[in-house]
Chain A
Amino acid sequence: GQNIDQPTEMTATEGAIVQINCTYQTSGFNGLFWYQQHAGEAPTFLSYNVLDGLEEKGRFSSFLSRSKGYSYLLLKELQMKDSASYLCAAGGTGGGNKLTFGTGTQLKVEL
């Protein structure tokens, strides 16, 4: 089976840096994904890691350690519009192409 853990809520200040952690247990792991979901909207894709290390995309970076079953999403230069839920999802091959989502981390960016 697959299990994803991430914090429920986080608060950070505009302009700051925040790190959202995610741990996972999955069979047939084939990648770790991060999605952003604003309230009342659909999730949108942020990043995909399949190899260990850091992937950087502008203000957002994502890190993966396969041996530790651990990932984090790093958001720099926080903006108010970054207030959203951030969903960690692990891809696995058990029973087909399955993507299991965590319950999401609600990030609140304050002035």
Chain B
Amino acid sequence: EAQVTQNPRYLITVTGKKLTVTCSQNMNHEYMSWYRQDPGLGLRQIYYSMNVEVTDKGDVPEGYKVSRKEKRNFPLILESPSPNQTSLYFCASSLTSGRALGTGELFFGEGSRLTVL
């Protein structure tokens, strides 16, 4: 089954304790992206990757890191989480062809709800 898998789905942590949210897709997609979703603010892009070893900042990259060492995996790293990073996080992937996002169809993971105390 074609899917994007995120782990963990739920996490409560404390300020400053490094954590990683993993994301894996089995569709051989080139494009992967991380979003956070907050009430009243919608989905905001954190980082995205056009292909292996190619990553770029989105609209809200501060406090986050990513890596793309393999095509299927795109982990999101919070080196020193703070309470303002409490949010619902979505990983997404898509075929990409040149400038456009292919058909535009982003496949989303089920989301990771993170609480930082």
Residues of A within 8 A of B (CB): 4, 30-31, 33, 35, 41-45, 48, 50, 87, 89, 91, 93, 95-104
Contact = CB atoms under 8 A, between A and B. Distances in A.
A102 B41 CA distance: 8
Contact of A42 (B58, B103, B108): B108
B53 to A, nearest CB: 15
B48 interface: yes
Contacts of A89: 43
Nearest to B58: A98
A97 B110 CA distance: 22
* Chain A, interface SS category: strand
B80 to A, nearest CB: 26
B87 interface: no
Given A87-B43, A102-B42, A104-B42, A96 B56 contact: yes
B34 interface: no
Interface in B24-72: 31, 33, 35, 40-45, 48, 50, 56, 58-59
B100 A31 contact: yes
B42 A99 contact: no
B96 interface: yes
A97 B48 contact: yes
A20 B33 CA distance: 26
Contact of A31 (B35, B44, B90, B101): B101
The list of the 5 closest CB pairs from A to B, nearest first, reads A42-B108, A103-B42, A48-B104, A101-B43, A45-B105
